[in-house]
Amino acid sequence: MQTLTANEYGFLADLASAYRDVHLRSLKQYDGWNPRLGVDALCFQQDGVGRMVGALITPCELWLVMVPDPSRLTEPLADALTLALPSGAYRLFLERLPGGYELYKRAILHDLGELESMQEAARLAQQMMERLMQPVEASNA
């Protein structure tokens, strides 16, 4: 995996804002709503084939997210795909957001009510991504 450019970080910030704008009202209705958390795209890396993989934190859930590079697309995106990571294969589902943002996502944690801050959420996202990027054998050792 490769680190991101400043433009890619800006893109992810805009994507997180678009996600927040679409989902904030419905997120506030969840039993697990945590008012101490916001929406942010964290721990993203380039996978070397034109996709960014990372975490999306919301006030209710932590998501594994893959964002395709629109400039590399040769056909419309499928409604779902399987993302192969060192820890295994994960089924992700497409979401289209206003502004032309498209992402694949899968909820990893559904209750973030005990987190006290976005800093704790960022640490949790980092731990999640570290575990997902480890081969299964290494995580069982």
Q: In what order do the strands lie in the sheet with 101-109?
A: 40-46, 51-57, 62-68, 101-109, 88-97, 80-85
**Can you count the helices (H) and strands (E) in the chain?**
3, 6
- Classify 120 as helix, strand or coil: helix
Whether residue 60 is predicted with pLDDT greater than 50 in this model: the reply is yes
In the prediction, which pLDDT does 22 show?
96
Return the number of other C-beta atoms located less than 10 Å from residue 20's C-beta: 16
Whether residue 54 is predicted with pLDDT greater than 50 in this model: the reply is yes
Per-residue pLDDT of 83-140, as tens digits, reads 999 999 999 999 999 998 999 999 999 989 899 999 999 999 999 999 998 887 744 5
Whether residue 30 is predicted with pLDDT greater than 90 in this model: the reply is no
Query: Are the C-beta atoms of residues 127 and 139 closer than 8 Å to each other?
Result: no
* Band of pLDDT at residue 44, cut at 50, 70 and 90: very high
Is this model's pTM higher than 0.85 or not? yes
For the chain, the C-alpha Rg in angstroms (whole number) is: 15
Mean pLDDT of the chain: 90
* Band of pLDDT at residue 1, cut at 50, 70 and 90: low
In the prediction, which pLDDT does 108 show?
94
In the prediction, which pLDDT does 50 show?
79
